[in-house]
Amino acid sequence: LPPKQKHQKATLAELLTLAIFLLLQGQDLAKGYLAAKTTLKAYFPSLPHLSRFYRVLQKAQGLLAHLAMRLSGGQGLLQVVDLKPIPLAHGHRIHGLSLPEAAMGVGPLGAFAGYVLMPVMNERGLFFRWAILPGNARETWGRDLLDGLPAVLGDRGFRWVQGVKTPPYRVRGGRVVETGWRGWMGRVRNWIETRFSVMVRSLGLHRIEARSYWGLVARVNLILLVHNLIRSRVLLRMAGVEL
C-alpha cells in the first residue's frame, strides 16, 4: 500500500465505493462506516467524520441517481410500477417528524410518518424511474412519472392512471370491471414485490435514518444504485464469471 500523504483526504470515489461496499454486505451504513475507519484504515487512511461522510453522500445524490439509471438500461418493452412505504417514525414519534413533505400514511405495519417510494421497473428487474412522495400519496400522484411509457402493469390502485393495466376491480354495487388482465401479467407484476423484498431485507430500505430531505433522497438513490448493480450482473462480469 502507498504511504499516507501529508494532508491527504478521502476522495469522492473512495467514499462512494465504501458506501456501496457496506450495502453489498448488508451492513448498517453508520455502524459499518465507523467500523471501517478502524478495520480498513490501511485501505482508507483518511476517512472523514461520519457526519462529513453523510454530507458527501447527500451532495452526490444526483450522481447516485444517474449511475442507477445508467445501470438500468432505461425503459423496456414492459414496465411495472408500485408504491413502497419509507417509514421514518412510528407510534408517538409520528408527531415529532418535521422533514419537508413528510406525511402520515398507512403501510403493512400500520400508521407511519415518512414518505412513499414510487419506482418503475423494466422487464429486466431494474429500476429506471422513481419518485419520492409524501407518506399519504396515492397511486394517481404518479401520472407524470409514467408519462410516455408503453405497457405498464400495476395493482388495482393504479386503475385511475391512464395507460396502466391493472387486474379486474369491483365498483359500487358489486359490478366487476374487466380490464383485459391476463394470468401471466400477475406473475410479472409480482416481480416488483420480490425486488422490494431485496431492498428491505438486504439493503436496509426499512431502516433509513435521515435528518434532512436530501439526505433521505441520497440514501434511497444509493439503495437503488446497489440494487441495480447486483441485478444487472455487472459485478459478475467484472469478476470474469460466465453468465
Q: Nearest to residue 221, comparing CAs of 137, 158, 127, 148?
A: 127
Q: Which is more confident, 236 or 16?
A: 16
Residues sharing a CB contact under 8 Å with residue 187, sequence separation 6 or more, in sequence order: none
d(CA 3, CA 52) in angstroms, rounded, equals 24
- 49 pLDDT above the threshold of 80: yes
The DSSP symbol for 124 reads T
Q: Mean pLDDT across the chain, nearest whole number?
A: 88
- Residue type (1 letter), 189: R
Question: Which cell goes with 140?
Answer: 394517481
| pLDDT classification of 174: cutoffs 50, 70, 90 | confident
Across 33-47, average pLDDT: 86
- 50 pLDDT above the threshold of 90: yes
d(CA 8, CA 69) in angstroms, rounded, equals 32
Across 51-62, average pLDDT: 94
Specify the pLDDT at position 104: 87
d(CA 221, CA 215) in angstroms, rounded, equals 10
Question: Which cell goes with 175?
Answer: 359490478
- Residue type (1 letter), 33: Y
d(CA 9, CA 221) in angstroms, rounded, equals 24
| pLDDT classification of 10: cutoffs 50, 70, 90 | confident
Specify the pLDDT at position 168: 92
| pLDDT classification of 242: cutoffs 50, 70, 90 | low
- pTM equals 0.89
d(CA 191, CA 186) in angstroms, rounded, equals 9
Specify the pLDDT at position 126: 94
Which pLDDT tens digit goes with each residue over 112-152?
A: 889 999 999 999 999 999 999 999 999 999 899 999 998 99
Specify the pLDDT at position 96: 67
Specify the pLDDT at position 5: 60
Phi, psi dihedrals of residue 108, rounded to the nearest 5°: -60, -30
- 238 pLDDT above the threshold of 80: no
Phi, psi dihedrals of residue 164, rounded to the nearest 5°: -100, 125
Question: Which cell goes with 180?
Answer: 383485459
Across 140-167, average pLDDT: 91
